[in-house]
Chains A and B, each alone.
Chain A
Amino acid sequence: MVKTFKDFPGVQWVEGAGEFIKINDEKCIGCGNCVKVCLAGCFEIMEKKAKIKSLEKCLECAVCWYVCQEEAIIFSWPPGGTGYKSDWG
């Protein structure tokens, strides 16, 4: 199954990516850096901790992982053939 979103034309998301980004609650200090840099709105702060709202619009750019100074974000690539794709990059 492939999903599209009106806010992000020209990109498709192939289902099955799963939780390829995870947050280590113990390390997270709730600084909100991941929320600020993520253009897909994948993160939110709840009870002073970052939570993954949804990875369904994630473009796998890894900027959340770069800006996490506490190393609380665990980033890996989604399984082969899943996640975003575009013809216009």
Chain B
Amino acid sequence: MDEDFDIIVVGAGFGGSVAAKLCADAELKTLMLERSENVGDKVISGLTIPFQGFLFAPAFIRDGNPPFERPADGIVNYIIKDIDKGDIEIDDSLKVPKPLSPIIAFGYNTYCKPFCQWQARKAVEAGVELRTSTTVTNFIKEGEFIKGIITDKGEKIRAKIVINAEGSQGILAIKAGVREKYPPETISLADTYDYVMRKEDIDKIFGYSVKMCWGWDEQKISPPLGYGNGLMVWPYRSSIHFMQDQCLRTDQKSVPNLGKLFDEYHHNITSKLLWWKDLVAPRAKLRARMWEGFEIYVGLNKKLRKMPNHTDGMILIGDAAGLESTELCDGVPAAWYSAEIAAQVAIEAIKANDVSKAFLKKYDDKIKAHSIIQWSIKGRNRYNLRIAQQEHDIKKLKKYIHQGWGLGSLTHFTTPFMKLLLAYVKEDPTIITKWIKMYFRYYQNWLHESYDYVKKKVIKVTASKRVRKKERKFLSTLRFIDLIMKSMLRIRRVLKIIIIPLSNSLNTLMRKSLPIIEPINSAIIKLLNPISNKLSNKMIKFVDKANPSIFYVY
């Protein structure tokens, strides 16, 4: 029997559930279809969702208790010049300094499945009907309009708008004639290994840092530079994720023998790299191996970037809209942002009773105006690593690693970040304290393994007078920040005349000043290390004992 919905969301990945929940919150009759038996069964990635993803995420994520495996406080880059001689340089400049770290995190490492399931449960609680084990095979089309979907069981389900969150391959979008298949040089195959390891060992060997390895191709220790992500190792709570990835075509003529190469890379890195060989290998046990293709270089190709992300009756989001990030190698933030924008536009379109391509163009306009989405899909810093490799130029290699994965990222990230930050502050001056609460709540949740739906340890509220005093101090500081922010908004002209134009030049400012600031910054951090460590430990103790309610957003 045919059914009718306002919205059908195809795919319950990182983007799909967010779009579905927000539509259901607006009381739209929403159906979400997922081809796997359980949400998250088929989502594979090594994953740090970066801080900007959470800061600018839809409120239910930012103010909620999503499950994650470990906060990340930065990246340690191993620049491997000669692995046999142990000639390795380290760039660990991208690190949140103590005492801010580890509570103020650079990002959060997570398994995809529990996170996607958390989002899907939020969507279902909001009223979304979720059907798993349902593959969408085609669309119902009437003229140019998408009017619904057809499932593998032959069911025809109609909707006013389809939000397509099918993922990077875009099989359905191609079938609908909206997009084209990507060329292989834009696709990276990520070969992923999951190792079990004791939490205490991970704390000692990794702490909160993601480790990345970069080397010349001929050493066969990490995939060719710039043609993939190189090699990354993420520490989770009591496991680590190892991911090597490489593009499907590195020149116009041939595709590499990835089966053979990946085995070689993995063998060489795990048997030659000292920290892996001596520290990790004796303590880690392989639990899983899997892989997935990512469209990481789509954004660099103007023609591909211009492919439509909407049509009559349909909006594409996240990876399905080509929003996987070249700069970050992480599509989650853009999936969240685009899902929220898609939901807003879909709600408006249904209210206006106009789901035409012309109306849904609002979605495209907002995606193009989103400073972080545009930065993340167009950035060329990581892509530039291939130039260093082609020229075998160590200076360039170090420069591009610093630009892409070191403190040099401030020279291209600061402006888009500040632009979005100011827009959020303008909209809601109390957002700063919501962000602070988010960091503290997330860290407390991590310490106690206490997330929505999963509470391994119940957070006990302490009666200590000292803790109570600190809680009061924490809350009064937040009230003070809110007061300052609200009064600043009264002088909007200052924002308009000084701060906004200044944010546009921040990248240039960082480019010019970073060579001076960086060594000073690093010297100060070293000098203050003993004090910072003490303060950081004090903050951790406070978060551990504090009443969780002080970190809630009401």
Which residues from A are CB-within-8-Å of B288?
9-11, 86-88
Q: Is B38 an interface residue (CB 8 A)?
A: yes
B171 touches A75 (CB 8 A): yes
A89 touches B37 (CB 8 A): no
Q: Is B553 an interface residue (CB 8 A)?
A: no
Stretch of B42-50, B214-222, B414-422, B492-500 that contacts chain A: B42-50
B258 touches A85 (CB 8 A): no
Q: Is B389 an interface residue (CB 8 A)?
A: no
Known: A36-B259, A37-B258, A79-B152. A10 touches B290 (CB 8 A): yes
Q: Is B450 an interface residue (CB 8 A)?
A: no
Which residues from A are CB-within-8-Å of B258?
36-37, 39, 63
Stretch of A22-30, A44-52, A54-62 that contacts chain B: A54-62
Stretch of B18-26, B79-87, B179-187, B315-323 that contacts chain A: B179-187
Count: A-B pairs, CB below 8 Å: 131
User: Shortest Cβ distance from A67 into chain B, in angstroms?
Assistant: 5
A33 touches B290 (CB 8 A): no
- Tell me, in angstroms, the Cα distance from A38 to B189 when the chains sit together: 10
With beta carbons under 8 angstroms apart, the residue of B40, B169, B289 that contacts A8 is: B289
Known: A10-B288, A36-B256, A38-B259. A62 touches B42 (CB 8 A): no
Stretch of B98-106, B133-141, B343-351 that contacts chain A: B133-141
- Tell me, in angstroms, the Cα distance from A62 to B111 when the chains sit together: 22
User: Shortest Cβ distance from A69 into chain B, in angstroms?
Assistant: 8
A63 touches B256 (CB 8 A): no
Which of B91-131 touch A at CB < 8 Å?
111-113
Which residues from B are CB-within-8-Å of A89?
40, 42-45, 111-113, 192, 290, 292
- Tell me, in angstroms, the Cα distance from A86 to B249 when the chains sit together: 27
Q: Is B255 an interface residue (CB 8 A)?
A: yes
B36 touches A81 (CB 8 A): yes
With beta carbons under 8 angstroms apart, the residue of A38, A67, A88 that contacts B194 is: A88
Which residues from B are CB-within-8-Å of A9?
286-289
What 1/0 flags go to B468-505 for Cβ under 8 Å of A? 00000000000000000000000000000000000000
A77 touches B132 (CB 8 A): no
User: Shortest Cβ distance from B91 into chain A, in angstroms?
Assistant: 29
Which residues from B are CB-within-8-Å of A76?
137, 171
A62 touches B169 (CB 8 A): yes
- Tell me, in angstroms, the Cα distance from A47 to B122 when the chains sit together: 53
With beta carbons under 8 angstroms apart, the residue of A39, A85, A86 that contacts B189 is: A39
Which residues from B are CB-within-8-Å of A8?
289-290
Known: A61-B292, A66-B187. A10 touches B35 (CB 8 A): no
Which residues from B are CB-within-8-Å of A7?
289
Cβ-closest chain B residue relative to A37? B258
User: Shortest Cβ distance from A72 into chain B, in angstroms?
Assistant: 13
Q: Is B291 an interface residue (CB 8 A)?
A: yes
- Tell me, in angstroms, the Cα distance from A11 to B35 when the chains sit together: 17
A39 touches B259 (CB 8 A): yes
What 1/0 flags go to B246-271 for Cβ under 8 Å of A? 00110000011111001000000000
B134 touches A66 (CB 8 A): no
Which residues from B are CB-within-8-Å of A61?
189, 291-293
- Tell me, in angstroms, the Cα distance from A67 to B187 when the chains sit together: 10
- Tell me, in angstroms, the Cα distance from A87 to B137 when the chains sit together: 25
Which residues from B are CB-within-8-Å of A79?
135, 152
Cβ-closest chain A residue relative to B185? A66
What 1/0 flags go to B293-306 for Cβ under 8 Å of A? 10000000000000
Q: Is B449 an interface residue (CB 8 A)?
A: no
Which residues from A are CB-within-8-Å of B38?
85
- Tell me, in angstroms, the Cα distance from A2 to B37 when the chains sit together: 12
With beta carbons under 8 angstroms apart, the residue of B43, B132, B257 that contacts A81 is: B132
Known: A36-B258, A81-B133. A59 touches B290 (CB 8 A): yes
Sample (19) of A-B pairs whose CB atoms are under 8 Å apart: A10-B288, A11-B289, A33-B255, A62-B171, A63-B258, A66-B183, A66-B187, A67-B248, A67-B255, A76-B171, A77-B35, A80-B132, A81-B36, A81-B133, A84-B42, A86-B44, A88-B194, A88-B239, A89-B290
* Additional A-B contacts beyond A36-B256, A41-B259 (19; CB < 8 A): A11-B289, A11-B290, A36-B257, A61-B292, A62-B171, A62-B293, A63-B258, A66-B184, A76-B137, A77-B137, A78-B35, A79-B135, A80-B132, A80-B152, A87-B113, A88-B111, A88-B194, A88-B239, A88-B290
| Top 6 A-B residue pairs of the complex, sorted by shortest distance between their CB atoms | A10-B288, A81-B133, A89-B44, A85-B41, A80-B133, A88-B288
